[in-house]
Amino acid sequence: MSVTIGIDVGTSGTKTLAIDESGKILASASSEYPCSHPKPGWSEQDPELWWTATQETLRAVLSAGTFRPADVAGVGLSGQMHGSVFLDADGRVVRPALLWNDQRTAAECAEIEERAGGLEALIGMVANRALTGFTAPKILWVRRHEPAKWEKVRQVLLPKDYIRYRLTGTYATEVSDASGTLLLDVANRRWSRDLLGKLDLDPALLPACYESPEVSATISAIGSEATGLPVGVKVVGGGGDQPAGAVGNGIVRQGVVSATMGTSGVVFAHAQHLGFDPEGRLQRGCASVPGEYHVMGVVLSAGGSLQWFRNELGKAEVALAKEQKIDPYQILTAEAALAGPGAEGLFFLPYLTGERSPHFDPDAKGGWLGLTVRHGRPHMVRAVMEGATFAMRDSLELIRDMGVAIEQIRVSGGGARNALWKQIQADIYGSDVHTINASEGPAYGVALLALVGTGAYASVPEACDATIMTVESTSVDPKAKAYYDRAYKVYRDLYQNLKGSFREISELVARGM
């Protein structure tokens, strides 16, 4: 039996699983860890937490008894994108890693755009606009604000690639994750020497870059002793969590799109060609399929909006769910079902933490609009679910505008585990939505990439065709779709009409009393 292992280094924990050549999961384990917030808007993590969790989960999976460690042919790595791990000449961590949700780098983003020669010039070099979450502005921040630490830095790695280094002793990354650094020439799938030069950054700071299923290194003696993996096991490039999750969802051909309604919401489309958007409204990058690309829109508080409602306004439902030993979301969505489509004209803007796609507005605010004495809790909950889904549709519309075909939408995350929310998605997207047999996301995706890299399959699409299939579909309600199409136009106008007020609110809060 040939086994591959997938490791996903997430923000809240690491998940590791093993699969056989048919894609069957043989064992899995996870380990959680905290995130540090030294100041408002800052988000950091000690990379040693990831390594400890990787060791724990690998040993748990290897000792499950469903296969022998000697059966392991390959390992795939995935992880949170955009984070920055700073290493010295001896490979030691210089400071805690700055994470994807760290917001301290607004000035550095402006500096990058200016040095590049403007927004359109920057997008021409690296396919994306400068966002605070990306890696490049974090590098500039450390250089500017922590010069003594910066003097020690000799290598900058992404989170999953730090684990690769600990497992293999090799500095390496791959093109899908590197696309989120803002330093990759995405069109040509190599580091952008043009932008590195304009930012006065030494290319030697960055590791060698591979394709996702390409073998990048092998398990070292030190890595073997720490984890139980045999020496010499191949480690493929892997993928950032979103591109790897796309492989795990079978999004490896143009026309198939995923809509993941998690805490954040991600609309992810595979594309044969990179395309061009001078405004950079969608994140574009290399796909985990060699030679191809992806476009991605991100809603910062999609399922997170319903989570906020549960935590802050749903304490009664949480208490009742505890008594009944059920998920509180079952009670909340049952309430929402009592209100019909459109919640009698009540809208919710899900911008509880600002917004990324398509507005790129940290000042955007959330809230209900259209409240009347007719509305009660069922309307409010339903409006939250609809508002998050309208925000996801924003990205779908941008993908269509870029000329990327949308023939099938596969849904995942919390929004795919609830019948009402699946129906709302089908009706607002205007397309049947489908769920698949695989639900393990990035860890499963990189295990599939390892199957390709070790020769079990000839290509990534072939591996997905053999292991992933749709199992359930939710059809569009034509009447509800017609209503939502009209309501979506109102929803889009609400942000445009209020964005000036959002900025004034932020200024008001900043000034204080």
Q: Which residues are the active-site residues?
A: 241
Element (H, E) at 472: strand 470-474
Element (H, E) at 512: none
Residue 425: CB atoms within 10 A of its CB come to: 27
What would the two tokens of residue 350 be?
A: 């899900």
Q: How far apart are CA 402 and CA 417, in angstroms?
A: 30
Q: Answer positive or negative: Cα dihedral of 271, 435, 242, 168.
A: negative
DSSP 311-369: HHH-HHHHHHHHHHTS-HHHHHHHHHHTS-TTGGG-EEE--BTBB-TTT-BTT---EEE
Q: How far apart are CA 391 and CA 394, in angstroms?
A: 5
**In sequence order, what are the residues at sequence separation of 6 or more whose Cβ sits closer than 8 angstroms to the Cβ of residue 496?**
none
Q: How far apart are CA 410 and CA 468, in angstroms?
A: 12
What would the two tokens of residue 432 be?
A: 């049947």
Helices 328-337 and 419-429: crossing angle, nearest 10°? 50
Q: Which CA distances in Å does 116 have to 38, 183, 199?
A: 31, 11, 8
Determine contact, residues 349/365, Cβ cutoff 8 Å: yes
263 closest CA partner among 313, 295, 299 = 299
Beta bridge partners of 347: 369
Distance from the Cα of residue 436 to its chain's centroid: 19
- Burial annotation 145-161 (CB, 10 A radius, 16+ → b, else e): eeeeebeebebbbbbbb
**In sequence order, what are the residues at sequence separation of 6 or more whose Cβ sits closer than 8 angstroms to the Cβ of residue 424?**
341, 385, 386, 389
DSSP 91-149: S-EEEEEEPTT----HHHHHHHHHHHTSHHHHHHHHSS---TTSHHHHHHHHHHH-HHH
